[in-house]
Amino acid sequence: MAFAMGKYQHIFKKIQDAHTILEPIVHRTRLDHSSTFSRITEGNVYLKLENLQKTGSFKVRGAAYAMSQLTDKEKAAGVIAASAGNHAQGVAYAATRMGIKSTIVMPIFSPIAKIHATRGYGADVVLHGTAFDDALAHAKETSEKTGATFIHPFNDTDIIAGQGTIGLEILEELPDVDIIAIPVGGGGISTGIAIAVKEQKPEVEIYGVEANTAASMHASLEADKLVKVTGMDTVCDGIAVKTVGDIPFKIAKDLFTDSVTVEELQVTRTLFYLLERAKIIVEPAGCVALAAFQHSVIKIKGKNAVAVLSGGNIDMSFMARVVEKELFRLGRSVRLKGVILDRVGTLNKVIELVAESGVSIIQIEQDRSDPDILPNKTECEMILEVPDESAVKKLLKSLEEHGFSFQVFED
């Protein structure tokens, strides 16, 4: 897409101003080179670790800068915001630090961890609607009724400028960057970084990345107009926005090299790989950019490429499910089923054979209720942790040699 040098100079100046104002408020997060993802992609992959930012995401940058620009009268009236979680925490943290009363409207299905964290940062939390857009409308209505200053999560030049400070930090540490991939929700962080980088190095390629089931920016750019998407069936709740902001949309049209989407399973597999190999915890929305690299949606062979990991506020129970499913997919957890005699000592023998094989039992159950199984028998199901496929084959052979017929069961 075409780039007009200087077109966004006014926002670039705000970004430079924000860089100074935010220095004592936010972390300057690491730009971490990843040998693991570099090997996978054949590029030089760097991770901008905004998951380690205060409040667990980049959102505190835009929120803090936007509130620094309020008048004393606006600060006295308090602020209100709508968010699925990360903007909520950013506004709550910055408001409390500045002595400003804050109210946050969140969708009722927001992750519990994000709701508790937002309250913990000092905000009053109101749960309303099933999607971000519902919460947004309610927050705007409340702002008009109460006089509280509305802090938009993305469709505001001060918010965009605050997020754009990430781009300045990337260029300072990696001046020869070729590609930057950024998660896109409403478009604030991606377009802020795009301005910060493009105003200094127009040749750098900027990619916006969305979950394919919630790709409002991608759809809008393809249609050359704002498009509202429906469904929003995605694990990436942090970027599940039905319509991007009109300000970010215009900027993206000018500055994005391309807008791409990733599949849900690509996201969760990248999340798992980050956790296991890099020891980095990232929420699904926060790792879509890296997923685009890992799964070759964006090809970066031989390039210096930065993936912005925008947030780490993941629900622990969800992360546990991701890990469990990936272990099964990779064959490191397996489920065996077989029918054995319902007799004292039979199950003990099965367990003994499993132990001798060097395989660990995670869970074991017997089911006597199946009407298709004879009354003197029971179905035995085991979930096992195994080192590799050969260990499973060895165990099945041992069980068979002792008269037990088990099979690997896949859901």
| Residues labelled catalytic | 59, 310
Distances (CA, A) of 208 to 190, 262, 304: 6, 11, 17
Contacts for 229 with CB less than 8 Å, ≥ 6 apart: 214, 215, 216, 219, 242, 243
Between CA 71 and CA 256 the distance in angstroms is: 34
**Could you say which DSSP state residue 57 is in?**
B
Dihedral sign computed on CA atoms, order 29, 54, 204, 240: positive
Between CA 361 and CA 351 the distance in angstroms is: 8
**What is the C-alpha end-to-end distance of the chain, expressed in Å?**
45
Distances (CA, A) of 17 to 28, 71, 87: 15, 17, 21
Phi, psi of 204 (to 5 degrees): -70, 135
**Could you say which DSSP state residue 22 is in?**
T
Which residues lie across from 309 on neighbouring strands? 49
Between CA 53 and CA 31 the distance in angstroms is: 12
Between CA 341 and CA 330 the distance in angstroms is: 32
The string over 172-205, giving b where at least 16 C-beta atoms fall within 10 Å of a residue's C-beta and e elsewhere, is eebeebbbbbbbbbbbbbbbbbbbbbbbeeeebb
CB neighbours (10 Å) of residue 242? 18
CA 91 vs. chain centroid, Å, equals: 19
Which of 160, 191, 197, 298 is CA-nearest to residue 253?
Answer: 191
Dihedral sign computed on CA atoms, order 180, 162, 253, 238: positive
Between CA 170 and CA 304 the distance in angstroms is: 12
